[in-house]
């Protein structure tokens, strides 16, 4: 029997052995696609995190990048309002300042 974790009815199997980097990246890129974040394979991608770059709001991922690095950088894109994502470049601090200048934070962000 495979051990499981999670709440009753939402349990997932615990893997018996660690996944390879490519398997982890396959899971991550599938997740990014499912939530609508654009990404592309890009050998030699270099940015803040090794193997990951952001260009015009697209996450460029080297095939040998760490899955955790891809998720880290994807988190920056995921938290940006969609209309600002294409402005995101290598260092997302510039687009974050742009968001702060143009978004009325007194309004409901989901409204």
Q: pTM higher than 0.75, yes or no?
A: no
Q: Which residue has the tokens 């991922």?
A: 61
pLDDT of res. 9 = 65
Report the pLDDT averaged over residues 8-16.
58
User: CA-CA distance, 80 to 5, in Å (whole number)?
Assistant: 31
pLDDT at 1 over 70: no
């Amino acid at each position: 029997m495979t051990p499981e974790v999670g709440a009753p009815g939402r349990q997932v199997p615990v893997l018996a052995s660690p996944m390879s980097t490519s398997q982890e990246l396959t899971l991550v890129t599938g997740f990014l696609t499912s939530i609508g974040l654009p990404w592309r394979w890009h050998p030699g991608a270099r940015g803040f995190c090794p193997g990951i770059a952001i260009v015009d709001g697209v996450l460029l991922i080297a095939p040998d990048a760490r899955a955790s690095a891809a998720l880290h950088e994807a988190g920056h894109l995921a938290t940006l309002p969609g209309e600002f994502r294409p402005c995101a470049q290598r260092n997302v601090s510039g687009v974050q300042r742009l968001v702060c200048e143009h978004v009325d934070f007194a309004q409901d962000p989901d409204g």
